[in-house]
């Protein structure tokens, strides 16, 4: 995660050191060498994703004048969006997301919660199915957690209910029952972005209330509302609500295009958002940088557009 930038940019090396100092762990070693089981613990995964995303932004910012129309991040990525827009300091954000990971894991004992991706159902159909499964199974709640694309939603909740719902789809007789639904269990350590995360949300309110929030350099489209804002207190409160609230990614991308955005730039490890965004709006091009060649191509494209 971010190794190639660490090798090429001094600002990347400083950023990894800054994160390591804030957490009193060797985050660089964890990101580059693992072990994988330690990196997959959510209290480590969240700071690693945040740090890598900020590294990408800082490296690009050194060679390209990045002034976005608006910024957004998917789940933990929203913290990176806030850091890059100078809303909260990087060291505060790193400590906050580590606490977020610990609070989320404590909220539900390991193994009792889970998440699954549902394909080929729309938002209304997924919500109806989750409500039906929760009521019929009597095993505990499941809810929509991530509205990733018009045909891909992640649901979250009690693992026993998820198992029951997957096994009993054939007897469901509600909106979307006539569609060929695909079910993909996800490898996660907790049921994120559902009501089971309320204890973690309460903890994060305390954590975030102690962090100064400043007005952003550009608008932030937030997960909880799928609307842009520059108000520091609104940013804080929506970030708190995000812990147990669904990630409204589909509507966030649509909001960006409504504001006039025609291209997006995904900053971080992997290309997940690029794939999601293409399914939301094929005309909204998402650029991605994973290699030196990608970086050089992006720099050339941006300079070319500025010369027009």
Q: What is the pLDDT of residues 126-176, one digit of tens each?
A: 999 999 999 999 999 999 999 999 999 999 999 999 999 999 999 999 999
Report how far apart, in Å, the C-alpha atoms of 87 and of each of 71, 196, 229, 299 are.
Answer: 12, 28, 12, 26
User: What is the C-alpha separation between 106 and 71, in angstroms, rounded?
Assistant: 30
**Res. 83: pLDDT tops 60:** yes
170, 188, 206 - which closes a domain: 188
* Phi-psi domain of 27 (left: phi exceeds 0; alpha: psi -120 through 50; beta: other): alpha
Torsion of CA 169, 171, 173, 178, to 10 degrees: 60
**66 and 131 share a domain?**
no
Asked whether residue 258 is domain-assigned, the answer is yes
Predicted confidence band of residue 267 (pLDDT cuts 50, 70, 90): very high
User: What is the C-alpha separation between 252 and 228, in angstroms, rounded?
Assistant: 9
75 annotated active-site:
yes
**206 and 78 share a domain?**
yes
Residues 6+ positions from 36 with CB-CB distance below 8 Å = none
Nearest to 134 by CA among 143, 125, 123: 143
Q: At what angle do helices 77-84 and 232-241 cross, to 10 degrees?
A: 170
**How many domains does one find in the chain?**
2
Residues 6+ positions from 14 with CB-CB distance below 8 Å = none
User: What is the C-alpha separation between 34 and 240, in angstroms, rounded?
Assistant: 30
Give the tens place of pLDDT for each residue, 268-284: 988 999 999 999 999 99
- Residue 14 in tokens: 């400083």
Which one-letter DSSP state was computed for residue 17?
H
**204 and 103 share a domain?**
yes
**Res. 101: pLDDT tops 90:** yes
Predicted confidence band of residue 305 (pLDDT cuts 50, 70, 90): low
- What range defines the domain where residue 33 resides? 3-107+196-307
Domain harbouring 144, CATH code: 3.30.70.250
Predicted confidence band of residue 306 (pLDDT cuts 50, 70, 90): low
Predicted confidence band of residue 308 (pLDDT cuts 50, 70, 90): very low
**123 and 95 share a domain?**
no
Point out the catalytic residue in the list 53, 116, 189, 193: 193
**93 and 203 share a domain?**
yes
**159 and 12 share a domain?**
no
Report long-range pairs for 289-298 (Cβ below 8 Å, ≥24 apart).
289/56, 289/60, 289/265, 291/4, 292/4, 292/8, 295/59, 295/60, 295/63, 298/60, 298/64, 298/265
Whether 140 contacts 134, CB under 8 Å: yes
> What percent of the chain has a predicted confidence (pLDDT) above 70?
98
**87 and 70 share a domain?**
yes
Point out the catalytic residue in the list 61, 75, 89, 128: 75
Asked whether residue 112 is domain-assigned, the answer is no
Asked whether residue 36 is domain-assigned, the answer is yes
146, 170, 188 - which closes a domain: 188
Decide the pairing of beta strands 228-229 and 263-266. Answer: unpaired
User: What is the C-alpha separation between 245 and 75, in angstroms, rounded?
Assistant: 10
Domain harbouring 232, CATH code: 3.40.366.10
**202 and 287 share a domain?**
yes
**8 and 81 share a domain?**
yes
- Residue 188 in tokens: 């996660």
**79 and 138 share a domain?**
no
Question: Prior bond to 35 cis, omega within 30?
Answer: yes
Predicted confidence band of residue 40 (pLDDT cuts 50, 70, 90): confident
Give the tens place of pLDDT for each residue, 178-229: 999 999 999 998 999 999 999 999 999 999 999 999 999 999 999 999 999 9
**223 and 181 share a domain?**
no
Asked whether residue 25 is domain-assigned, the answer is yes
Rounded average pLDDT over 48-58: 96
- Confidence (pLDDT) at 145: 98
157, 188, 219 - which closes a domain: 188
């Amino acid at each position: 995660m971010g190794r190639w930038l660490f090798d090429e940019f001094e600002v990347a090396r400083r950023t990894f050191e800054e994160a390591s100092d804030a957490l009193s762990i060797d985050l660089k070693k964890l990101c580059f060498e693992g072990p994988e089981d330690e990196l997959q613990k959510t209290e480590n995964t969240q700071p690693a994703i945040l740090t890598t995303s900020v590294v990408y932004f800082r490296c690009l910012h050194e060679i390209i004048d990045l002034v976005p129309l608006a910024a957004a991040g998917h789940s933990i990525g929203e913290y990176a969006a806030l850091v890059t827009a100078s809303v909260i300091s990087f060291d505060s954000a790193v400590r906050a997301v580590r606490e977020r990971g610990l609070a989320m894991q404590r909220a539900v004992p390991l193994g009792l919660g889970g998440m699954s991706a549902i394909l080929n159902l729309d938002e209304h159909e997924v919500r109806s199915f989750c409500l039906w499964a929760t009521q019929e199974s009597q095993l505990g709640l499941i809810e929509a957690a991530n509205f990733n694309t018009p045909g891909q939603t992640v649901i979250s909740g009690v693992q026993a209910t998820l198992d029951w719902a997957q096994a009993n789809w054939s007897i469901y007789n509600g909106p979307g029952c006539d569609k060929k639904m695909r079910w993909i269990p996800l490898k996660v350590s907790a049921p994120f972005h559902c009501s089971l995360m309320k204890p973690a949300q309460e903890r994060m309110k305390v954590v975030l209330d102690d962090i100064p929030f400043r007005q952003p350099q550009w608008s932030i489209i937030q997960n909880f509302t799928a609307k842009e804002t520059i108000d520091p207190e609104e940013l804080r409160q929506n970030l708190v609500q995000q812990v147990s609230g669904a990630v409204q990614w589909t509507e966030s991308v649509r909001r960006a295009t409504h504001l006039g955005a025609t291209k997006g730039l995904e900053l971080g490890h992997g290309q997940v958002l690029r794939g999601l965004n293409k399914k939301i709006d094929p005309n909204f091009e998402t650029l991605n940088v994973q290699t030196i060649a990608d970086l050089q191509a992006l720099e050339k494209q941006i300079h070319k557009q500025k010369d027009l």
